[in-house]
Amino acid sequence: MKVQRLAEDNPAAVLTVVFILLFVATDIVNRAQGDGAFLTLKQISTTFLYAAVLGLMSAGQTLVMLTGGVDLSVATTATAGAFTVSRFGTHGSGTAIVLALAVGLAIGLVNGIGIGVFRVNALIMTLGISTITLGYLTVAAQKQFTALVPNFVVTLGSERFLTYIPYDLLVWAPVAAVIILGLRYAGLGRAIYAVGDNPVASRLGGIRVWQVLLVVYALCGALSAVAGILLVGFNNAADLGIGSPFLLPSVAAVVIGGTSIFGGLGGYAGTILGALILTVLDSLLTILNASQAVRQMIYGTIVLALAAIYARATAGAE
Amino acid sequence: MGAFALLFVLVLYWRTQTAARWGPFDVQSLAIDALPLCFAACGQAIVILSGGIDLSVGSMMSLVNVVSARALLHLSFRDALLVSLLIVAGAALVGAFTGLLIVVTRVADIIVTLAMLFVLGGAALAVLEVPGGGAPIRYQNLVTLDTLATKWAPSAIGVLLGAYVVLWVPVRRTRVGLSLYAIGSSRSAAYLAGVNVPRSRIVAYAYSGAFAALGGLALTAASGLGDPNSGTIYTLNSVAAVVLGGVSLLGGVGGLIGPIAAAFVLTLVKTLMILKGVDQNWAQVIQGALIVLVVMIGGLAVRQKGKGS
Amino acid sequence: MTGSTPLLDVRGLAKSYGPVVALRSADLQVFPGEVHALLGANGAGKSTLVKLLTGVVSADAGTVSLAGHPVRVASPAASARLGLAPVFQDPALVPDLTVAQNMRLTGTDPEAVRRELNELDLDVDFSEQARDVPLPLLRMIDLARALARRPELLLLDEITAALPSDLAERVFTVMAGLRENGRSVLFITHRLKEVTATCDRATILRDGGAVATIDPRERGEEAIVGYMLGPEAAHAAAEAAQKDASAVHAPPPADSAAALEVDSVTVGRVQDVSFVLRPGEILGIAALEGQGQGELFDVLSGQRTPESGEIRIAGRPLRTRHPYDAIRAGVVLVPADRLQALLPQRSVRENVAAPRYNRVGRWGAINMRDEGRRVRQAVDALQIDVRAGRQVRRLSGGNQQKVTIARWLASGFRTMLCFDPTRGIDVGTKRQIYGLLRQLADDGGAILFFSSELTEFPLVCDRVLTLFGGRITAELPGQAADEASLLRAMHGLVEAGDGEAA
């Protein structure tokens, strides 16, 4: 089909079009409900504000999926990061942030060791780690402590400057730049693609695959923690479920963005668009007052549809 | 097999831990507790040995749970059984549809079943937003109270073995059954040998749907209630039971008996922890750690086998 | 030919993958009672034609008729039903099932298969898991299964590659037997000697179309090569071949420092093997299947550690726990299986540059200009055709193999281990690779060369060691390494005075 050919040759263009279409659709629905326009600078700005959290979790997920794996612990790691900030907020924002990053990094390292060194299946390892993390957090939450989210974090997570530019873009944009450039122009980027495309050939070429996996999962953990920091700033409080709505969307954003789940093909630029699309979709569903049930069903269907369009492209020649 | 040995050891340990009289009641409660996971593990095992994975198992169980809790509420025992059969058949069709999607869209099975997890979960919420509904008492007793021949043999186990014998045993050595192993072992070799790969994949996911439905019905019977979130934990646990039960995640190797034993082991571990007064959340942590450990050891075993070739 | 209706009549068959034309328009006729060879360089469309005939892919245009009726082959199962039995290069047996279960899987009567195996003078334990059966035997079982179906047309895809000669002989007997019964064989191979020895007719493909159908016994190998390469290329190849024969490649003096010393190494089937390889030298290893050459190359490339003995690189002992250690010491591997060396979805450039980023120290920013220069140099030196190049998997087999070698040109090396580097490659590319290896040696590299095609040794090597039962049985100077001498030594039949291992 011609549409499919177009999608294969210009994935970024197609995604951008979908994004704009969704935005326009949301605008139409909003007006129809008498709530005014949606296609405003303010709403665009809000969309980017919301999307940053998903964008950061999906960043880690992109790196992991490029190596042919998946990280189902990003949500609980983000929650852990959020929790750490809230728990140590009384010690100042600097300490709280550093500790949260350390927690994320540590969780990621554990994943990396399990998957890279012990060759545990990534799905199982990260799912197990997420169960452990959540269990631990539940126990820890029952203990007494003063919860405080430092002002700096709140500003970072929820406020804007120059009226329309969210502060969290100051975090997301540089991270995005580093990842996109790194994947293309850094040796580590090449190693990541190599490991995802053909781990056997990579090994014979001298790459220590476990090193690459360790780094990738550690980075993913750290990025999830960053997402958690922004989340807790946005909500001004940490609860145990804070990260969970982002788990499956983080995988979805990567897939929609054109990265193959088998590894070796794709990149972060597509994921960014995927995250934006999903965020607008969420707004649309909220405006439509869709019940949780309907939202979930629509979500699943759309993920599948978009993934199907790209499956043709990433499958390549027969 | 390892899982059985483990089970045996745990049961012995269990006996020493319960006060005074360990008896048929304990066996009965273990059976009730483990039944849903046993069914989930069966379905997951078939999908995994055919080279796939099904992340929607838990959601299917939730969906069947709420649907049956609403449908069976005011029915007679006989009608309830008939409707249950219909539900299982319907779930098999839904599973087949999932398989069809995987084949037609060429999207990885993880993604498709992940999407189905969403869709089926949402459907479950649509049917019942909060826990409710019920099932006829006699129906519930089938799982919770009845015994076969002796009071040491809960009918729950009878139902489990019955499903196993009816649904899997006649198939596993036939061309259809061997095809499932074949596509899991080497999809390309199977294709070149003339196996109808798409059809076999669809069959695998139909099995998963059917067994997940049985698991959901077990949940209804055991709890007497429908809860849209009742199935969530069974996805991860079913994969764990499959791995612990000797089925390779790479596909092509294993059967259903191992995962069933492993399901009992996992359930028993949880029971033992509660018995020892472990906080429920710590129990969850420990179970998660256990699963990871199990798979790690399983992974090392696969590597050892691989080294020989 | 017997009868005027072809058994298989292919006209105008075409297949493209997006912009890449794999098969332009192919015509092929196979008559009943005929052994027909299908030949062509890699990239000529041979493998695509095979895939089309066996239903693995579907055609864009053209017709296929079997015994006069047009047919559409939708899958390997369908092709089997139509009387066309394929035997693929990779045996279509599922590793985790037993041989008997594999038979049941395809609805084949195990007794019929057993009978065919008996005719082939082979005995197989049907209860053994397919994964435990050695590859050559697996191929024969696949063949027996195809024969048990009593096909009209047997399609053999490179079945003799990596088959020991005694089994290959039995395959030829089977082919002759089918011919006598009025059935036919479509025989795909790269080994021209086999074609002239066994086939009635041969169709040669070039650039996606059939260019000639000849009688190989009449016209001979050079004519076939001529058609495969095309007129100008054939002339150039003939010149090159003449140059090959007369080129004097100067081996290094015997007292120069060794690049690689193998000292009493034992590993797997290898028993107490010692030899020396010097810079500027191409040393050949000749062996029958499974005599230890695999383990030898594994241990030299860092995939295994020796059980006893020592390996020294430029005088220093080599301790490896990972291929990286060998590469760091300048020892690089060109494996037989291209799938082990290439990143299929990545570009030629990324593939060629890949080993440069195998350590943490190189994970920082890439110097793109430097990388571009190195890659270009390597690609030019090897004359790699990069037109299909955005993903290496779209390249032809010959070009892919060149990429695996190019990697090491771009990253630098001192010793190159080539394990059957020309397996499944067309004649033209093979000659290019021979020339390149000699060039690399002349520039100071040390090369260890294993091949399953004996004719290559005198063309490439300065010395040849033969391996039998894990031990070195003879050392022959390159020019003296003719087939007869090699075969004798490879079977362990060594006369006194035939030379010993260095």
pLDDT of residue B60: 97
Identify the domain containing residue B280 by its residue range: 2-10+23-308
* Residue A293: closest C-alpha in chain B: B122
Residues in chain C within 8 Å Cβ distance of B188: 90
In a domain, B170, yes or no: yes
C-alpha distances in Å from residue C31, one per residue of C4, C9, C86, C186, C301: 8, 9, 17, 10, 49
Residue C40 has phi, psi (to 5 degrees) of 165, 155
**Token output for C355:** 């080993």
pLDDT of residue C497: 44
Q: Are residues C235 and C260 in the same domain?
A: no
User: Of the candidates A141, A156, A136, A168, which has an alpha carbon nearest to the alpha carbon of residue A47?
Assistant: A168
In a domain, C181, yes or no: yes
Q: Are C97 and B185 a contacting pair at CB < 8 A?
A: yes
Identify the domain containing residue C85 by its residue range: 8-94+135-241
C-alpha distances in Å from residue C127, one per residue of B49, B204, B305, C122: 20, 26, 19, 15
- For the domain that residue C302 is a member of, what is the CATH number? 3.40.50.300
pLDDT of residue A288: 83
Q: Is the dihedral of CA B247, B249, B250, B251 positive or negative?
A: positive
Could you tell me where the DSSP H helices lie in C82-123? 99-105, 110-119
Q: Are A206 and C355 a contacting pair at CB < 8 A?
A: yes
pLDDT of residue B269: 83
Give which of A180, A204, A216, A312 to mutate to test C binding, by max C Cβ within 10 Å. A204
In a domain, B161, yes or no: yes
Give yes or no for residue A212 having a pLDDT over 90.
yes
In a domain, B16, yes or no: no
In a domain, C337, yes or no: no
Average pLDDT (A77-89) is 94
- pLDDT, tens digit, 9 for 90 and up, residues B266-281: 888 888 887 777 777 7
pLDDT of residue C501: 40
pLDDT of residue C502: 36
Average pLDDT (B170-177) is 91
A-B C-beta contacts closer than 8 Å: 136
- For the domain that residue B259 is a member of, what is the CATH number? 1.10.3470
Question: Of all helices (H) and strands (E), which one includes residue B48?
Answer: helix B24-49
Final residue of a structural domain among C241, C268, C293: C241
- pLDDT, tens digit, 9 for 90 and up, residues B104-149: 888 888 889 988 988 999 999 889 888 888 878 777 877 777 776 6
In a domain, C119, yes or no: no
Average pLDDT (B293-299) is 71
Q: Are residues C197 and C283 in the same domain?
A: no
Q: How far apart are CA B212 and CA B214, in angstroms?
A: 5
Q: Are residues C218 and C256 in the same domain?
A: no
Q: Are residues C34 and C88 in the same domain?
A: yes
Query: At a CB cut-off of 8 Å and minimum separation 6, what does C483 contact?
Result: C454, C455
User: Of the candidates C191, C202, C134, which has an alpha carbon nearest to the alpha carbon of residue C168?
Assistant: C191
Average pLDDT (B160-180) is 92
Which residue matches tokens 């979930």?
A296
Q: Does A125 contact C at CB distance below 8 Å?
A: no
On the CB side of B208, CA atoms within 13 Å amount to 36
Q: Are residues C236 and C189 in the same domain?
A: yes
* pLDDT tens for the 502 residues of chain C, in order: 445 788 888 998 888 876 667 788 889 999 999 999 998 766 678 878 888 888 888 888 888 988 888 888 888 888 888 888 889 878 889 999 999 999 999 888 889 999 989 888 888 889 999 989 988 889 899 999 999 988 889 999 888 876 777 888 899 999 999 899 889 999 988 777 888 888 999 998 887 788 888 888 888 877 887 787 676 665 665 566 656 555 555 666 666 788 888 888 998 888 899 999 999 999 999 987 778 888 999 999 999 999 999 999 988 899 888 999 999 999 999 998 888 899 999 999 999 999 999 999 999 999 999 999 999 999 998 888 877 668 888 887 788 899 999 999 999 999 999 998 987 777 788 888 998 999 999 988 999 999 877 888 888 899 999 988 888 988 998 888 887 788 778 777 665 444 444 3
Average pLDDT (A234-241) is 88
Q: Are residues C229 and C86 in the same domain?
A: yes
In a domain, B17, yes or no: no
- pLDDT, tens digit, 9 for 90 and up, residues B8-39: 777 777 776 665 556 777 788 888 889 999 99
In a domain, C73, yes or no: yes
Query: At a CB cut-off of 8 Å and minimum separation 6, what does B189 contact?
Result: B182, C90, C91, C92, C93, C94, C95
Average pLDDT (A287-299) is 83
3-state helix, strand, coil in chain C (%, to 5): 40, 25, 35
Average pLDDT (A99-127) is 92
Q: Are residues C393 and C406 in the same domain?
A: yes
pLDDT of residue A45: 87
In a domain, C433, yes or no: yes
Average pLDDT (A119-133) is 86
In order of their start, the domains of chain A are 2-315 (1.10.3470)
Contact A1, A248 (CB under 8 A): no
Which amino acid would we find at residue C44?
A: A
C-alpha distances in Å from residue A212, one per residue of A74, A117, A193, C144, C324: 18, 11, 10, 46, 14
Q: Are C328 and A264 a contacting pair at CB < 8 A?
A: no
- pLDDT, tens digit, 9 for 90 and up, residues A137-179: 988 888 877 888 888 889 888 888 888 888 999 999 999 999 9
Q: How far apart are CA B120 and CA A283, in angstroms?
A: 22
What percent of chain A lies above the pLDDT cut of 70? Answer: 94
**How many helices (H) and strands (E) in chain A?**
14, 2
Helical pair A93-112 and A151-158, crossing angle rounded to 10 deg: 70
pLDDT of residue A317: 35
Final residue of a structural domain among C412, C431, C448: C412
- pLDDT, tens digit, 9 for 90 and up, residues B81-93: 899 999 999 999 9
Final residue of a structural domain among C241, C276, C309: C241
Q: How far apart are CA A277 and CA A180, in angstroms?
A: 19
User: Of the candidates B154, B127, B146, B137, which has an alpha carbon nearest to the alpha carbon of residue B229?
Assistant: B127
Q: Are residues C402 and C259 in the same domain?
A: no
pLDDT of residue A188: 96
Average pLDDT for chain B: 85
pLDDT of residue B232: 85
Q: Are residues C67 and C183 in the same domain?
A: yes
Q: Are A128 and B281 a contacting pair at CB < 8 A?
A: no
Q: Are residues C318 and C434 in the same domain?
A: yes
Q: Does A291 contact B at CB distance below 8 Å?
A: yes
Q: How far apart are CA A39 and CA A19, in angstroms?
A: 12
Contact A145, A96 (CB under 8 A): no
Query: At a CB cut-off of 8 Å and minimum separation 6, what does B20 contact?
Result: none
In a domain, B18, yes or no: no
ipTM of the complex: 0.87
Partner-chain residue, chosen from C343, C344, C365, that has the shortest CB–CB distance to A185? C365
- pLDDT, tens digit, 9 for 90 and up, residues B175-228: 999 999 999 999 989 998 889 999 999 999 999 999 999 999 999 988 888 999
Residues in chain C within 8 Å Cβ distance of B184: 96
Q: How far apart are CA B136 and CA C83, in angstroms?
A: 59
Q: Are residues C228 and C283 in the same domain?
A: no
In a domain, C23, yes or no: yes
Report the 10 Å Cβ neighbour count for C492: 15
**Token output for C249:** 């490649």
In a domain, B15, yes or no: no
How many domains, in total, are found in chain C?
3
Q: Kindly report the nearest CA distance between residue B243 and chain A, in angstroms.
A: 10
Residue B25 Rama label (left phi>0; alpha psi -120 to 50; beta): alpha
C-alpha distances in Å from residue C212, one per residue of A75, A175, C41, C430: 64, 60, 14, 22
Across C119-129, b (16+ Cβ under 10 Å) vs e yields ebebebebeeb
**Token output for A184:** 């293309």
Contact C37, C199 (CB under 8 A): yes
How many domains, in total, are found in chain B?
1
Contact B243, B2 (CB under 8 A): no
Residues in chain A within 8 Å Cβ distance of C419: none
Residue C495 has phi, psi (to 5 degrees) of -90, 160
Give yes or no for residue A108 having a pLDDT over 90.
yes
Q: Are residues C318 and C257 in the same domain?
A: yes
Helical pair B77-105 and B57-71, crossing angle rounded to 10 deg: 150
Query: At a CB cut-off of 8 Å and minimum separation 6, what does B92 contact?
Result: B206, B207, B209, B210, B213
Q: Please tell me whether residue C144 adopts helix, strand or coil conformation.
A: helix
Give yes or no for residue A83 having a pLDDT over 80.
yes
Q: Does C304 contact A at CB distance below 8 Å?
A: no
